[in-house]
Structure formats: C-alpha cells, structure tokens
C-alpha cells in the first residue's frame, strides 16, 4: 500500500458518506427483526415466470444484438414504447426527449454531474430522498431545504428562499421535487401546488428536477398531472424508473427533458457506463408491449394497498397519543413524527431490542433537522408482519415515553 493513502483520495470521495439506509440494513438482517427500513418492493410483485419466457424469446429472436453493446441513448424499442405510454397520458415527448439510464439513481448522479459545480446551490424538500441528496452532495452542492406541508413543498417558502438567494446573487441550479407519494413523506402534490411551483420557477429562471419513481403505484384518489406535462417552457427534467414498478435488479430508469439537456445526459453517460444493458432493455420492451406491465402493476397496487391499510390500522390501534403519521395515497412509505423531545436515533436502538427496524427521519433532512421523525416502508413485509411490527414499534415508543416521564 502507498504511503498517506488518505491524501491520494479526491475531495469528492473524502466528502462522501456511506448511505445511512444501506448501513442500517446491515443491522436488520436477523430473521427475528421485522424491518420497515428498506425501500424494497415485495418479492410477490416480481413477474418471475413471465421474465423467464421473455428472456428466452429475446435470445431466440434477437440474441446477438441483445448481448452486444447498445446505444447510449437506449434501445430504440424501449424508448419508443415509453414515449407512446407517456403520450397516452398526455405528455408530449419524442424519442429525442428521452434517454435510458441504469436506474434512476444513475439519472440523479448524471443530473448532478451535468449541472453542479462545487458550491452551487440546489433546493430540495425538508425532508427529501436520501439518494438524491447524496448524489448532489457528492458533486459539491450546497443543499438548501424548503419545508413541506400536506401538499408537498411549500410554494410560499420556496419563493422566499429564491428571493433571498437572488438578493445574494445566487441562482440555484435546480429545485429537486418528488411530487407523487414523496419519499420519505408519502405526500402527493396536488395540481394547484404544482402550477404554483412552476410559476415561481419561471419567475426566478430556475430548473426543476422531478423525481417520479412511484407514480403508477396509486391506491386511491385522482392521478395528478406531471410537472413535465404542465411545463410549457422546457424547464422540467423528469426521472423515471422500473425499480419500484417492475424489478429493481433490472437497474433500469430514464430521463425526460428538453433535447438540449438530453444531449448532455448522453455525453455524461458515455463517460460513465457507455450504455445500459441491451438485453434487459429488450426484455423490458417486450414486457410492456405484451401488456404484462399493466397487468402486473394492477396486482401490485392491490397487494400494496392491503399492506398499507394494515399498517395504518395498526398505527391507529397501537400508537400512543402524540405520535402522528402521513396517510399516503400510493407508493411505498409513510412518515412518522414523534413528540419533539424524542430522538429517533435513540429510539432505533430500543426498537432493535424489540426486533423491529425503521429509517431515521433525520437522514432525509439536508439541514440535520427531523431528529424526531422516521420513515416506514409497508410494501416489503407481509400484512401480518406489518401489524406485528407496528405493535413492537409502538411498544418501543411507549417505553421511551415512560422513561422520559420518570
């Protein structure tokens, strides 16, 4: 080993930290622990048998091309198929507006790579998706948080923040928003708020990054138009993925944006991985074209609705007074707010002793706040374990409250 190895590392990697969620997952591998920590789809939702048949079909009909390098922009079959799906939803895009990525996490990394120089400001929600925050920080972004209310990022506080930054001569690179079943809060932004935020973005000449990994997993309520769909000035960059709606192991996502922005994503991706797996893209294309995606997403929605309902009912039954939680219309998560004095990091240790795990809410706050919050995933565990896990978690909270009142 060379001398002074730490001095050889780049400033980027020195400032990067391991994912809090990934590290916590290591602590929850014991079989007796009911874990609400990971953002994991249910294995019951995976179309294993269909994929076996599709893989053989791709290899039989297009094996040589499927196993070859592909275009950086993505397999043309998959891109055209995704474009047609978006057009049916009223989103006006062409193939030139879409690039395939190795899941949406790569999309977030490329977004940061393209736009962020060290010290640049990015605006995000309080709380917001940890994977996005980590990607932006790794390129030296200064994250500025805007609190959420029951309708998502507060438009009034966003405008205050942008006005203050403008007075300081600072133009943020973009505003990062997860409008549908927000991770971690589970909140859906209604159309009126989306329009408010777009108008503010136009006024201050700032881009919007719309992260949309769960949009199709809706249990109830009306689907809201995408920010990209409402945008008539080309300022919205939308990220999508199959990780939560199809299979996370495929590591397949996409970015939709103005063609000038997509060109930069292609350039950045060429220096990263050249191309996403052509084999997996061709399977995914067939999966959609044969109607299997729509069939399976309906089954997944029913599965997750039952699990969410079980968790919410258990929360009502077991949680002590003073604990609040969101009631998501879809997605994979709900967010819990504990009494202000309670520290979820301390509670986590007690919860592990009670054989239940969650993710610390503070991990999702770019300003270090949210110490009395937690995120719970309801999609992975069974209905029975969701109920039992909430009972165990509520018991841990009650124990913490009892100790504080001594």
What DSSP designation does 96 have?
G
| Four-way CATH pick for 48-292: 1.10.240.10, 3.20.20.70, 3.30.70.1400, 3.40.640.10 | 3.40.640.10
Q: What is the pLDDT of residue 19?
A: 62
Largest interatomic CA distance in the chain? 71
pLDDT of residue 79: 98
pLDDT at position 387 is: 98
Place of tokens 């969620």: 21
The CATH fold assigned to 16-45+295-404 is: 3.90.1150
- pLDDT score at 196: 98
Nearest CA to 36 out of 45, 44, 46, 25 is that of 25
**Under 8 Å between Cβ of 183 and 39:** yes
Residues 123, 172 contacting (CB under 8 angstroms): yes
pLDDT confidence of residue 402: 92
φ, ψ at 280 (rounded to 5°): -70, -35
Beta strands 207-211 and 236-241 are: parallel
Q: What is the overall mean pLDDT for the chain? A: 94
Q: What is the pLDDT of residue 270?
A: 96
184, 199 Cβ separation under 8 angstroms: no
Which residues in the chain land under pLDDT 70? Answer: 1, 15-29, 406
> How much is the pLDDT for 11?
75
Residue with tokens 């995933």: 377
DSSP labels, 201-256: HHHHT-EEEEE-SSTT-B-SSPPPPPHHHH-SSS-EEEEEESTTTT-GGG--EEEE
Q: Provide the whole-model pTM.
A: 0.94
Instruction: Provide the pLDDT for residue 25.
Output: 61
- pLDDT attached to residue 38: 85
Residues 313, 389 contacting (CB under 8 angstroms): no
The residue ranges of every structural domain in the chain are 16-45+295-404, 48-292
* Tokens describing residue 366: 């770019």
Q: How far apart are CA 257 and CA 265, in angstroms?
A: 10
């Amino acid at each position: 080993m060379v001398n002074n190895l730490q001095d050889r590392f780049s400033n980027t990697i020195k400032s990067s930290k391991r994912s809090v969620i990934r590290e916590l997952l290591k602590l929850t591998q014991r079989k007796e622990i009911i874990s609400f920590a990971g953002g994991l789809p249910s294995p019951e939702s995976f179309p294993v048998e269909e994929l076996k048949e599709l893989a053989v079909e791709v290899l039989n009909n297009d094996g040589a091309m499927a196993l070859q390098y592909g275009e950086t922009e993505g397999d043309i079959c998959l891109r055209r198929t995704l474009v047609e799906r978006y057009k049916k939803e009223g989103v006006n895009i062409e193939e030139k507006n879409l690039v395939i990525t190795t899941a949406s996490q790569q999309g977030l990394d490329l977004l940061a790579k393209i736009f962020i120089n060290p010290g640049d400001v990015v605006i995000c929600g309080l709380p917001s998706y940890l994977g996005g925050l980590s990607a932006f920080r790794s390129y030296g972004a200064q994250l500025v948080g805007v609190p959420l209310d029951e309708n998502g990022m507060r438009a009034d506080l966003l405008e205050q923040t942008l006005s203050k930054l403008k007075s300081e001569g600072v133009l943020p690179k973009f505003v990062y928003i997860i409008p549908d079943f927000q991770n971690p809060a589970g909140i859906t932004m209604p159309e009126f708020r989306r329009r408010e935020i777009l108008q503010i973005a136009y006024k201050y000449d700032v881009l919007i990054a719309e992260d949309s990994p769960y949009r199709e997993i809706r249990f109830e309520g009306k689907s809201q138009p995408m920010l990209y769909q409402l945008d008539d000035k080309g300022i919205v960059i939308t990220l999508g993925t199959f990780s939560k709606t199809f299979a996370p192991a495929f590591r397949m996502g996409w970015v939709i944006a103005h063609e000038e922005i997509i060109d930069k994503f292609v350039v950045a991706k060429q220096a990263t991985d050249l191309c996403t797996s052509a084999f997996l893209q061709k399977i995914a294309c067939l999966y959609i074209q044969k109607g299997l995606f729509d069939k399976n997403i309906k089954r997944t929605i029913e599965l997750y609705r039952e699990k969410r309902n079980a968790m919410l009912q258990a929360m009502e039954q077991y949680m002590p007074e003073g604990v609040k939680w969101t009631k998501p219309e879809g997605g994979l998560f709900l967010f819990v707010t504990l009494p202000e004095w309670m520290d979820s990091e301390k509670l986590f240790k007690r919860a592990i002793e009670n054989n239940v795990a969650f993710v610390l809410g503070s991990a999702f706050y770019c300003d270090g706040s949210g110490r009395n919050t937690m995120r719970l995933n309801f999609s992975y565990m069974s209905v029975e374990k969701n109920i039992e896990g909430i009972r165990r978690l509520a018991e841990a909270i009650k124990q913490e409250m009892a100790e504080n009142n001594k």
